[in-house]
Amino acid sequence: MRWPIQHLSTAGKLIVVGGQRDSLTFFTYNTIDRKFEMKNSDSKQRLTMTSLAVNERLAMGTDKSGEIFGLQQRESSILHALETVFTFKTGEIITQLKPGSLEFTAESLVNDEIPLKIVEATEELQLATLSENPNTSTKMTQLFFGSLWAFLLMSKSVFQPLELLQRIIQSHSKMKPLLGNDHFFFRSGDNPTHGVIDGDFVAQFLDLEFDDQKDIMT
């Protein structure tokens, strides 16, 4: 590594190494030869803050400009640079990434309550996993000023219609100037935002009048 190592994270055979200016680099460990093998690295130079290995192909990272990003190994072994699957600017420096769980319950929907179970946190903000379901994939972040964010992996069938809705309402007159006069610019830092649904922004669609919702959907 060319720069001091900031953090380490593992998932299965994957070892994610974050350097001060090297962004993230993926390694694996051969238990037979007892050797580390460098697999892929980021093509961009980032001042990384922390990282979290999500699975053996995907990792999340944060940098000191207030961005959170996702990197994964490409299918082709010829391309050695990691693929950037999403970037999103929070506006604050994220100091920790932790796995967590938010469970949706049918009872809470029927009772018109908030359909989320609260994730408990200790003073050190070690987020507890409430669900033992291995398919849950919520990632929690702690920001420098103490805020908490939740990021949830979604299927394509859920993501694509929400992404389309987000693109439409970004330019709709009824949605401005929520979260800034230009939402795309607001959520873009050193890199244009992509691959993320801004829940705070898209949820504003539900507060619109029915005629305005119908106008957007048509």
Residue spans of the chain under pLDDT 70: 1, 76-79, 101-147, 176-181
> Do residues 103 and 117 make contact, with C-beta atoms less than 8 angstroms apart?
yes
Q: Which of 96, 37, 29 is nearest to 61 (CA)?
A: 96
Q: What is the pLDDT of residue 131?
A: 35
How does DSSP assign 114-168, residue by residue? ---PPPPB-TT--BPP----TT--EEEEEETTS-EEEEE---HHHHHHHHHHHHH
What strands lie across the sheet with 94-100, from one edge to the other?
A: 94-100, 138-143, 148-152
Specify whether the CB–CB gap between 138 and 151 falls below 8 A: yes
Helices (H) and strands (E) in the chain, counts: 5, 11
pLDDT (0 to 100) of residue 73: 87
The pLDDT value recorded for residue 120 is 35
Cis peptide before 177 (omega within 30 of 0): yes
pLDDT digits (tens, 9 = 90+) for 143-163: 545 567 788 888 888 899 999
Per-residue pLDDT, 134: 40
Using CA atoms, how far apart are residues 113 and 107, in angstroms rounded to an integer? 9
Residue 126: its pLDDT value, please? 33
Residue 79 is predicted with a pLDDT of: 61
Residue partners of 84: CB distance under 8 A and separation at least 6: 42, 44, 69, 70, 71, 191
pLDDT at position 173 is: 76
Q: Tell me how crowded residue 2 is: count the other CB atoms within 10 A of its CB.
A: 7
pLDDT of residue 146: 57
Q: What is the CA radius of gyration of the chain?
A: 19
**pLDDT, position 204:** 85
Judge whether 93 and 144 are in contact, CB under 8 Å.
Answer: yes
8 A C-beta contact, residue 47 and residue 65: yes
